[in-house]
Amino acid sequence: MTSDSNRIQSIRGFADILPSATPVWRQVETTLQATLAAYGYDEIRLPALEHTELFARSIGEVTDIVEKEMYSFEDRNGDSLSLRPEGTAGCVRAGIQHGLLHSKEQRLWYAGPMFRHERPQKGRYRQFHQIGAEVFGLQGPDIDAEMILMTGRMLRALGLGDVRLEINSLGSAEARRAYREELVSHFRAHWEALDADAQRRLETNPMRVLDSKNPQLQAVIESAPSLMDRLDEASRAHFEGLTRILDAAGQPYTVNPRLVRGLDYYGRTVFEWVSDALGAQGTVCAGGRYDRLVEQIGGNDTPAIGFATGIERLVSLVTERFGVPEVAGPDAYLVVGDEAAMGVAHRLSERVRDQSPGARIRVHSGGGSFKSQFKRADRCGARYAVVLGESERASGQYTVKDLRGDEPQRSLDENELIEFLSAGQH
């Protein structure tokens, strides 16, 4: 036994996804991708590594993500590169670089690992996986509403229809700036009523003060001005347009005026789907509009909206609710008597795979008694055990035993056996 001290372990926050979990992952991923396809989105695949500058310029220099959570390092030529902490920046970069956004709309989705150097906890990892989508070139609230309805459909398709939808509008950059100043002076006037945490937030991200969970601050927060009341006219009309469509579509929501994004590029519509079953990390899907970003990183003025979901969180919810599906074993397990039988076993199984690519045949390896081979056939969940021993080779009649049901043991010649195993479900 190797001692723990010289055994290499995975990096903190980088999880292995073991065979017992991959079926749920696959189910979540295929369900989400099918829904995206149903709304006419096209897949785009993007690098995990980008120039650090891209994230600094899009996410915001002073955000936590850029300041202390990125995996950044110098390339051999001295460039600063970073593992992507989110997917939007790279998608926008690719859209500009390849001319995808040139006066036409795009509905794109992507999937893959993201990296943030945070302290891991339930539902939060340093390498985590997202599926997200970005729509470019559409400025009206109709696409906002469609994206919200689509993400709602995704969650329902996973059996997670009981999450709640929260929406808000962050208004225009100008309105937000004016509001932020107003907010800062409000809280400065009540400085001594704030706790240390809120005082710190007032310096870094004033709108976050509204998020404080401290009940003693509720009075000061209640009396604070609301961004909703100070939206610019266009943003107000946009938001009202959004709620009209959601109402007409029968999609329930709550307006949460304290719903703020941690990334600088958001404006106007923001939304979140929240579950109460995940502890502190309740957001399973979040998105919003970012009309200024494309221009900000060098493209033409292009309206855009996007969302991302955390696969780990969805997998966790689905697993808690429905358990893990039993892994289906092979259709047949070939028990081999000796070396000569091994040749027969592979000749037979290859012919079955030729004829029926969906057939799942496991040929025993590693020797051992018939007893132990049968035991393994049973343990791996095989439906049938096929015995290839001396007497079978002599007679040309192979024994097939049903391991899961009451079918009587049968004797088949080679062609019959191949037909039998190729038939799939018996």
Partner RNA sequence: GUGGGCGUAGCUCAGCUGGUAGAGCUCCGGAUUGUGGCUCCGGUGGUCGUGGGUUCAAGUCCCAUCGCUCACCCCA
Q: Which parts of 37-66 interact with RNA (CB under 7 A)?
A: 63-65
Nearest-approach distance from CB 403 to RNA, in angstroms: 4
Q: Does 385 bind RNA (CB under 7 A)?
A: yes
Instruction: Indicate the residue among 70 and 94 with the shorter CB distance to RNA.
Output: 70
What distance in Å separates the CA atoms of residue 166 and residue 13, rounded to the nearest whole number? Answer: 29
Choosing from 205, 269, 302, 349, the residue that interacts with RNA (CB under 7 A) is 205
Distance CA(186)–CA(416), nearest Å, equals 84
Cross-strand partners of 74: 80
Concatenated DSSP letters for 294-328? HHHTTS----EEEEEEEHHHHHHHHHHHH-PPPPP
Toward RNA, which CB reaches closer, 130 or 235?
130
Say how many CA atoms lie within 13 Å of 57 toward its Cβ: 17
Tell me which of 90, 123, 137, 267 binds RNA, using CB under 7 A: 123
Q: Give me the 242-261 binding string for RNA, x by CB under 7 A, dash otherwise.
A: ------------------xx
Task: Find the binding residues for RNA in span 272-291 (CB under 7 A).
Answer: 272, 279-286
For residue 413, the SS3 value is: coil
Give the shortest CB-99-to-RNA separation in angstroms.
27
Scan residues 162-201 and list those touching RNA (CB under 7 A): 197, 201
Alpha helices in 217-334 (DSSP H): 218-222, 233-249, 293-296, 311-322
CB of 155 to RNA, least distance (A): 11
What whole-number distance in Å separates Cα of residue 246 and Cα of residue 248? 5
Nearest-angstrom CA–CA distance, 308 and 131:
6
Least Å distance between CB 20 and RNA?
11
- Pattern 78-117, RNA, x by CB under 7 A: --------x-----------------------------x-
Q: How many whole angstroms separate alpha carbon 34 and alpha carbon 36?
A: 5
339 sits near RNA (criterion: CB under 7 A)? no
What is the dihedral sign for C-alpha 316, 320, 321, 322?
positive
C-beta of 146 vs 402, nearer to RNA: 402
> What whole-number distance in Å separates Cα of residue 404 and Cα of residue 383?
6
Using CB under 7 A as the binding rule, whether residue 387 contacts RNA is answered as: yes
- When asked if residue 29 is in the footprint of RNA (CB under 7 A), the reply is no
Sequence-distant (≥ 6) Cβ neighbours of residue 268 within 8 angstroms: 169, 170, 171, 172, 235, 238, 239, 288, 289, 291
Judged by CB under 7 A, the chain residues 302 through 331 that form the site for RNA are 308-310, 312-313
For RNA, the binding residue among 112, 113, 120, 330 (CB under 7 A) is 120
Q: Per CB under 7 A, does 263 bind RNA? A: yes
Nearer to RNA, 248 or 280 (CB): 280
Question: Which residues lie below 8 Å from residue 181, measured CB to CB, with a gap of 6+?
Answer: none
For residue 408, report the phi and psi dihedrals to the nearest 5 degrees: -70, 150
> Does the footprint of RNA cover residue 376 (CB under 7 A)?
yes
Report the nearest approach of RNA to the CB of residue 424 (Å). 20
Least distance to RNA from the beta carbon of 377, Å? 7
